[in-house]
Amino acid sequence: MQSDCQACPLRRDGLCASVADEQLSNWAAIKRPVRTIRAGASLFVEGDDNEMVYIVRRGWALASMMHENGRRQVLRFVMPGNLIGFERAPDGDMPCTVEALTDLMVCPMPRHSLMRFCQQAPNVALRMASLLAAETISDWRLLGGLGTRTAAERIARLLLALYHRQRQRTAPDISDVTLPISQVLIADATGLTPVHVCRTLKEMRTVGLLSFAKGHLRVLDWMRLTELAEMSDTATPQPSSNQDGSLPLKNNGSGCDRYRLSESHP
């Protein structure tokens, strides 16, 4: 098991990166055999009594919960290196469902074994707290804007967040990435309807911001898209859109420097 952990591509990523070489044998000892979950299957379901924590080794998953009206809310997308299953409701049940978007490979470990290991390895405990805090902040940024942002702003923020995360795992300077998500999932993550998502994506492509089709995202205008999403990495933040909800466009010399969305708010 130690050699398997040592050769794992996540050895220098995520929570595993905090495990020192001399701690690796004890780290490997608390793990259970690697599990594979087929695309479309659930790792655990909201309300389950789950005692295992999982490190995603390969593939994508999503965490979601069901509202009383029967609509699903996607809480976050899970990628290699992410820790899932650590969160648990006060009654011990799982507060969300985790479903495999692609074939998923995970390293399971009992929650109590992980906590006992962290007591002896504060470096791992601190790393886990840091990772969970970063994921929580990211989730807040995406979910917190659902009631205050236009459809285009919500979609831009979601796709750019996934774009950044995926780019970190591939080439840093590519203009397009593969995202194994559908327009239905985008709708469930942004509080929109699939029809509204489809229409907004078409308009965003028309104005030259991005192209998203069949799980393939291409950023056409990085500067305007990051401004729309308010995720610009420049020193001076730019407004996400014009006050009337229209998308800013480059001036094409015709005097028309904006494209008004047919429906700015859902």
Q: Where are the alpha helices (DSSP H) in 8-150?
A: 24-29, 111-120, 122-143
Percent of the chain with pLDDT over 70: 83
Contact between residue 73 and residue 142 where contact means Cβ atoms under 8 Å apart: no
Q: What was the pLDDT predicted at 9?
A: 77
Q: On the CB side of 201, how many CA atoms lie within 13 Å of its CA?
A: 25
> 243 pLDDT exceeds 50?
no
- Higher-pLDDT residue of 86 and 265 is 86
Q: What was the pLDDT predicted at 190?
A: 93
Q: Where are the domains of the chain?
A: 2-143, 151-259
Q: What was the pLDDT predicted at 150?
A: 92
> 30 pLDDT exceeds 80?
yes
Q: What was the pLDDT predicted at 172?
A: 57
Say which range, 73-77, 106-110, 163-167, 238-242, has the weakest mean pLDDT: 238-242
Burial of 47 by CB count in 10 Å (0-12 exposed, 13-18 middle, 19+ buried)?
middle
Q: What is the mean pLDDT of the chain?
A: 82
Q: What are the respective helix, strand and coil percentages of the chain, to the nearest 5? A: 40, 20, 40
Query: pLDDT tens digits, residue range 54-94?
Result: 999 999 999 999 988 888 999 999 999 899 998 877 677 89
> 136 pLDDT exceeds 90?
no
Q: Which two tokens stand for residue 231?
A: 């995720």
- Higher-pLDDT residue of 262 and 137 is 137
> 231 pLDDT exceeds 80?
no
> 241 pLDDT exceeds 50?
no
- Cα–Cα distance, 104 to 178 (Å, whole number): 16
- Higher-pLDDT residue of 44 and 252 is 44
- Those residues whose C-beta lies under 8 Å from the C-beta of residue 249, and which sit 6 or more positions away, are 207, 208, 224, 256, 257, 258, 259
Fold (topology level) of 2-143: Jelly Rolls (2.60.120)
pTM: 0.81
> 262 pLDDT exceeds 70?
no
- Higher-pLDDT residue of 40 and 230 is 40
Task: Using pLDDT thresholds of 50, 70 and 90, give the confidence band for residue 168.
Answer: confident
Say which range, 39-48, 81-90, 163-172, has the weakest mean pLDDT: 163-172
> 18 pLDDT exceeds 80?
yes
Task: Using pLDDT thresholds of 50, 70 and 90, give the confidence band for residue 250.
Answer: very low
Give me the mean pLDDT over the 142-170 stretch: 84
Which architecture does CATH list for 151-259? Orthogonal Bundle (1.10)
> 242 pLDDT exceeds 90?
no
- Cα–Cα distance, 100 to 84 (Å, whole number): 12
Say which range, 148-152, 175-179, 197-201, 253-257, has the weakest mean pLDDT: 253-257
